[in-house]
Amino acid sequence: MAGATENHLIEVHGVGLNYSPRLGQTPRLALEDVTFSLQAGEVLAVLGRSGCGKTSLLSLVAGLLLPTRGKILFEGTPIREPSRSRVMMFQSHDLFPWKTAVENIEFALRARGVSGSTLRADALGWLARVGLAQQAHDLPRQLSGGMQQRVALARALAADPKLLLLDEPFAALDPFTREAIRLEFASIIRELRKTVILVTHQIEEAITLSDRILVLPSAPGRAVQLLSVPVTGREYDAPDFLALKRRLHDIIMQK
């Protein structure tokens, strides 16, 4: 378990989450005693099996949920509600279907106060950045799954967040599209020097995209583990990559 230190962008201290049950049911423990911190410009992958609380953790950092125990500080202040400083991008189908690609991005720009003559140009600029300038006036249903995720990424970036929260953003894509978008995404994130928390259940994805990996246990109560990704370990055939992959696999499969 990693201890949180001061002057971090985000600090998570002993966080636990119980989902409120219906009357007469026992509360469901989603997370227990999670502690980590994140510096600006860092990419943290949160890895774990389905149902281990990865998305819950991301929702807590986004401010969409509140922890039942512990505290989460963003720039030293407790998180109590969503903020455009911490934008979350969901698994799939989260574009507003009634807005075109460019209108979806304009929504994010207007939410942060951009208006007037630069609005459309800015939105088109973000679309061009993800290679979709030609699809600006298409509705989401007219775009492929990969294109939709690119628009969602452009929209999240257009909000200019300090922290980008990605909930399995490539999970709904086919393997070939996933690989292409993953590379594109990695290049944009590094170029913009964004701080990112990426939830994934793909070990390779976690290693290639992140600086550190937080492994959530399959059942609450077990220790959370935090591992650094060596710079030399991001290539699929590098010995460090294979060693880290094996280690992460063992941790996740631990019963």
Partner 1 sequence: MALVRVLREKAVNRTFSVLRRIALFVLLLTVWQLSSRLGLLNPIVLPAPSKVAAALWQLAASGELLAHAAASLQRVLLGFFISVALAIPLGLLLGTNRALRHGLGPVLALLRPIPPIAWVPLAILWFGLGNGPSYFVTMIASFFPLLLNTMAGVENVDPRHLNVARSLGASRRMIFLEVVLPSAAPFILSGMRVGLTVSWMSVVAAEMVSANRGLGYFIESKQEMVQMEMVIGGMFTIGLIGIILDQLLVTLNRRWVRWQAPQKTI
- Within 13 Å, how many C-alpha atoms sit on residue 236's CB side? 4
- Residue 111 makes contact with partner 1 by CB under 8 A: yes
The stretch among 11-19, 127-135, 153-161, 186-194 that binds partner 1 (CB under 8 A) is: 153-161
Question: DSSP states of 153-216 as a string?
Answer: HHHHHHT--SEEEEESTTTTS-HHHHHHHHHHHHHHHHHHT-EEEEEES-HHHHHHH-SEEEEP
Examine residue 193 and tell whether it contacts partner 1 (CB under 8 A).
no
Nearer to partner 1, 39 or 91 (CB): 91
Between 99 and 222, name the residue whose CB sits nearer to partner 1. Answer: 99
Q: Exposed/middle/buried for 73, CB within 10 Å: 0-12, 13-18, 19+? A: middle
Q: Applying CB under 8 A, does 110 fall inside the site for partner 1?
A: yes
Q: Is 137 in the site for partner 1 (CB under 8 A)?
A: no
Give the single-character DSSP code of 2. Answer: P
Contacts of partner 1 in 23-82 (CB under 8 A): 62, 64, 82
Asked if residue 9 binds partner 1 (CB under 8 A), the reply is no
Choose between 164 and 227: whose C-beta lies nearer to partner 1: 164
Amino acid identity of residue 206, one-letter, is A
Q: Are 101 and 135 in contact (CB under 8 A)?
A: yes
Residue nearer to partner 1 on the CB measure, 46 or 229: 46
Q: Are 32 and 221 in contact (CB under 8 A)?
A: yes
Q: Of the candidates 18, 39, 68, 83, which one interacts with partner 1 according to CB under 8 A?
A: 83
DSSP state of 151: H
**Binding site residues, partner 1, CB under 8 A:** 62, 64, 82-88, 90, 93-94, 96-99, 107-108, 110-112, 139-141, 155-156, 159, 165
